[in-house]
Amino acid sequence: MTDEPTRSPATRSVALLADPGLPRRVADAIADGLAEDLQREVGGGVRWVVQVDQRTLPLTPDGEVPLIESAASLRRATGADHVVYLTDLPLYHLGEPIVCELSSGAAAALVSLPALGAVRLRARSRSLLVTVVASLVEGSARYPSPEAARPSLGRYGIARRAGDDDISYLTRRGPATAFLMLAGMVRNNRPGRLPVALSRALAAATATGAFGIFYPTIWNMADSMTARRLALISLAVVTAFSGWLIVHNRLWSRRSPIASRKETRLDNAATVITVAISVLMAYVLLYLVLLLGGFTVITPDYLESQLAHPVSVRDYLQLAWLASSLGLMAGALGSNFDSEGAIREATYSRRQRQRRQLAERSEEADGAEAVRGD
């Protein structure tokens, strides 16, 4: 009995498997168009069918996705001729970020979305998958070539690396690689989720900021400050809050046996950017709430009597600005009462959280082994 699915010679199918979250949304968005592109570009009188399925392969102890090893069982389960797996996990080969890993013998390919960057992700994924599937048909021992992938990956450095047997890799290289990876990793982390997890911190920030709105001393302080000084205060507050969240919730990664120094640096840089963007989003939201409160509650005549000069919209803007900064400082204390697990879940993609858990367990095991050795 053969492991290969029985299918009409005139039809070939691709199972587009995806991790939950961003990979699944990308797969759903490109499936129909991908089938049309394959029919046009790969063609040969073959009708192509693309089916989407959300599946999560367990990571190996090294934090990798074992697609090639699981390809035969996945093809049987899906009844497809080829399997393509989308993941939001950053992957590396010989120190270079992997765009895709493929094997025509296994009829399977793995695509790492962070290596595609943060813009035009769906269009790039769709174009790349046409090249990938064509390479599975033609033979991954020779394909895909960097030239074939360049229209979908842009002009930045692309390299083809040969692996064991017929496995090959497309990797990123060159000076723009770190920027592209960071952008892709931050997009996968989805910074907009973190403010929701900081509900207690934002409640404390709003309460403190509202106090500033109704406290005349704050009005005079804001009136005496220049925009430059207020901007410096904002920068200091956002930096301090971001740093506190990272330290208090143990979001900073230390080098582990399953990650190189370069990978750890990229991971930490993505964490810092994700948290900073999230805090900035919370800050802007707090500012808008307090500005609306100031316009609603404080009449221009009363504000003018306290400041002893004619007032304008600029005075309300500066008042809300300073009150938001004071509120965010209090929010850092309020974040102590937010769940560390919820903050971690909101900071990282699901796959990245799993890899971090593997790294932490590996670190704990090494520590226990060292204690036993002593």
Q: Tens digit of pLDDT per residue, the chain (374 long)?
A: 345 555 555 788 899 998 888 888 999 999 888 888 888 877 667 788 888 887 778 888 777 888 888 888 988 888 888 999 998 888 888 888 888 988 888 889 999 998 888 888 898 888 889 888 888 887 766 667 777 777 777 766 777 777 677 788 888 887 778 888 888 888 888 887 777 777 777 888 888 888 878 888 888 888 888 999 999 999 999 999 888 888 887 888 776 666 677 878 888 888 899 889 989 998 999 999 999 988 988 888 988 888 888 989 998 999 999 999 988 887 776 655 555 666 766 666 667 776 766 666 655 544 444 445 55
Length of the chain: 374
pLDDT at position 20: 84
Of 96, 93, 119, 101, nearest in space to 57 by CA: 101
CA dist 40 → 34, 35, 133, 134, 149 (Å):
10, 9, 13, 11, 17
Work out the angle between the directed axes of helices 300-307 and 313-334 (0-180°, nearest 10).
90
Determine the Cα–Cα distance for residues 208 and 138; give it in Å rounded to an integer.
64
Cα dihedral sign, 60-65-71-75: positive
CATH of the domain spanning 11-174, picked from 3.40.50, 1.10.3470, 3.40.390, 3.30.300: 3.40.390
Determine the Cα–Cα distance for residues 160 and 362; give it in Å rounded to an integer.
31
Place of tokens 């090959």: 168
CB 222 within 8 A of CB 318: yes
Global pTM reads 0.81
CB 330 within 8 A of CB 208: yes
pLDDT at position 368: 45
CATH 3.40.390 domain position(s) in the chain: 11-174
